[in-house]
Structure 1
Amino acid sequence: MTTWVGRTAVEIAAAVREKRVTPREVVAEHLARVERLDARVGAFRVVRTEAALAEADEVAARGDLDRLPLAGVPVAVKDNLAVRGESLRVGSAATADTPALEDHVTVARLRAAGAVVVGLTHVPELCVFGTTEGVHGTTRNPWDPRRTAGGSSGGSAAAVAAGMVPVALGNDGMGSLRIPAANCGLVTIKPGHGVVPGGIGEGDWFGMSENGPLATTVRDARVMLAVLAGAGEADEEAAPGSLRVALSLRSPIAGVPLSTPYTSAARDAAGVLMRAGHQVRRADPPYPASLGVTSLMHWTAGTAVDAASLDPRLLARRTRVHARIGRRFLGRVRTGRAREELRDRLKPFFTGYDVLLTPALARRSPSAAPWHERGWLRNIAANTAYSPMTPPWNLTGWPAMSVPFGTLPSGAPSAVQLVALPGREADLLALAARLEELRPWRRTAPLE
């Protein structure tokens, strides 16, 4: 008997289009895995068992089945994007438990491409932090269940890493795709601003938040990104030629050290790319000393906007404090001046390099613990200590990827980050595909 759990989205869609398997069979097999494993992982807030099977049958009956890039592919959706008929809780007790009337545009595009939504995944309250836990549940890293999957797209990342779905939808406001992808051994791309529709929360965190895919292969990420961007079929992978790659092992946030496993992964990846014909040099972007303050201002101000219409008595203390601090910065953040100054400072660096290569994280993720019950400062310290590499590229609005590379001493995956100027997503994907070809990774965690 052919099993479809563990297959890529591309493989599943091809089999469904060729009628070697039905969408119902594929979805049912993945739902069975969710039922078997999710009590240990905590990826899903809602599992849409009956609705997903009915939608799978609808996909099978479509007249354009043979042209659907995600035909019959089970997907998970982060619980800050509307799914028709399901409540949108954003990890909070303060949000309404009422069904959404319409799909978010990205969900609608996935469904139009033949995907079947099997469930909504856990997030930290209002998607603020880089750990995923709260009143609706705690999400663990399938590779190391003692530790958080990361956040805020932690549930989506854990669902893919556990093989419960081949791909998932998340978003990234300060690293919320790249952080959990790095923890869970997945490929993700935060596209440049405007490539994929936003519509996240109450204002996309001033345009810093981007929707994007979580996948186990570069090809799946490429196909899903094309669907989300409304581009139809993904472009065929093209060799980018010899790219100029800058290797940086410096934290953008002053005073945050990078641990050896992550710097070693970046060095090793640089060596692989150099042997593959790319020009690699050690070089650090000119991060301003004020970057930590700028990041905190925007991070807290985004939460202030998202929390403004909610009952503060129903929010966790760390969220209330985050929003209260952010209200002080709203005027300064709304001018956009700090972000424009950062772009002006960093853009000349990329005249000498096509791609920046860095560690994806500074250290392994924090423990899977009730961080939502702990103080604001403790959360800020834990988040900053392990994930300082991602915020600059939300502030600039430039594309960035996390790509699995190497392993940590625990056996969990390590990862590197790739960054480029706007419009160069194809270069990032091509470089990631080269790393995948030369240093393939284990695609899902060994849970069974």
Structure 2
Amino acid sequence: MTVTTRFAPSPTGWIHVGNLRTALMNWMIARKAGGQFILRLDDTDQERSKQEYADGIMEDLTWLGLHWDRVERQSLRMERYRAAADDLRAKGRFYECFETPVELDLKRKKQLNMGRPPVYDRASLRLSDAEKASARAEGREGYWRFMLNQTRIEWADGILGPISIDAASVSDPVLIRADAQVLYTFASSVDDIDMGVSFIVRGADHVTNTATQIQIMQAMGGTPPSFAHHSLLTGAQGEELSKRLGTLSLRDLRARGVEPMALLSLMARLGSSKPVELIGSMEELVDSFDIGAFGSAPTKFDAEDLMPLTRHYVQGLPFAAIADKVAALGVPGDIAQAFWAVAKGNITVLADMAQWWTLFRDGAEPLVDDADKAFVAQALALLPPQPWTHATWGEWTASVKEATGRKGKDLFRPLRRALTGRDAGPEMADVMPLLRKVPKV
């Protein structure tokens, strides 16, 4: 049987690291099995769904290299959902309800006060046709619930292990709102059966949804897929991350210069028993993935962990991989490779190259302590004319040492600061051939 997975985001905002975790796991499962990965846009909420977000989702996944085999849109499947709803009505599994949100809230509070679970009492099942007509006459719009079989719902979860939920402890889910909007729980169930989805990975906050969807799928005559529920992300200190996810969108991380392979390497291992390390290729990423290596405990995520991985990735890039970016900075071709060789060991993200080329091209604002002014002026007077070579630094400092008697840190540090405006950086022998201007002190 072909393994088919899906990533089903709602195009109501930019996708974030929490979404990525779900997308990546489903993508890796499909690719490892040689199966299919579906991108399904859950866009039944026409008011909040935007094309710009749909485009952004596809742009982000493409940036990461998570290519899909086909795209589906729930908004194009409304007739199918209506037919599925009619089928469940005919089977006696759909029933119409008329309670207002206020009435439902009062019921929940009453049940909680009595020490009972706040489960819907199925009062609408007892409404006569006349009572329903009266509710409509009062301006109430009916909405539709799925009637659960009040038995235990069990499955072997790929991460959490054996799961058993008593359906009697769960309210019959609302599947179609009074405004006729088809809700996620129903549309997703119909799609997963129709599209042959065989494995679903999603967050642990969906466990109850999974229980109800298993019964919905079975009521439609379908076979539910296998499920695995990954842990939820928290902040670095264990704090709730959900309120910050908007600031952890993939496009924000990309704007910070985070490299795709760094992000994928972290998210493919975070929360598992395998160490987080930079993974060299997409093939290695897929080959090393094991859903069974993940645990159920909340998983700490710190965006700063992406920077060392990004630095490691960037510093390992061959010149050929970034030649166009170096050229775009205006670095002359005859020194482009030498520039990259010097810059790469001193940057975290590729955008950091620009500051180094600015320094080499325009010169730095010299850093000279008052006590060193005379020494630096004397040293610069001994500086040979350009062009400089790798030998220039050693030859120059030797002549300065002979003329001034300075040595060690007292010799080298003031000269580095005068030429680069920095206390530390690349080897000065490598820097000298790249400097375009002599500083004026």
TM range (shorter): under 0.3
Normalising to structure 1: TM-score of the pair? 0.23
Larger Rg: 2
Taking structure 2 as the reference length, the TM-score comes to 0.23
Structure with larger RCO (C-alpha < 8 A, sep 6+): 1
Greater strand share, structure number: 1
More helix by proportion, 1 or 2? 2
